[in-house]
Amino acid sequence: MDIGGFALAVLLIELTPGPNMAWLPGLAATEGRRGGLAAVAGVALGLLATGILAALGQIGYPTRGAPRPFGACLR
């Protein structure tokens, strides 16, 4: 496994803005600092878990029991 290439890909994906970058500032503006930081922590933990599972090659396990239309996309 090329860990350097994997790390570079993860870094580039993480630096790309997405829906979270639109949601988090709006939430922080309406819910305040504490709510914003809690949301950031939740997003970060979710991304960390996904990254660890991907690095270990285990990310496909949750989709094995998926409904047939979704499973067809994985083939």
Band of residue 48 on the pLDDT scale cut at 50, 70, 90: confident
pLDDT of residue 34: 95
Question: How many domains is the chain built from?
Answer: 1
| 67 has pLDDT over 70 | no
Which residues, 6+ apart, have CB-to-CB distance to 27 below 8 Å?
35, 36, 39
Mean confidence (pLDDT) of the chain: 77
- Tell me if 70 is assigned to some domain: no
Task: Among 3-12, 33-42, 63-72, name the one with the lowest average pLDDT.
Answer: 63-72
Residue 8 lies in a domain: no
Listed as own residue / partner, the contacts of 11-18 with beta carbons closer than 8 Å and 24 or more positions apart are 14/47
Residue 30 included in any domain: yes
pLDDT of residue 4: 83
Taken in order 26, 32, 37, 38, the sign of the CA dihedral is negative
Per-residue pLDDT, 9: 82
In a domain, residue 50? The reply is yes
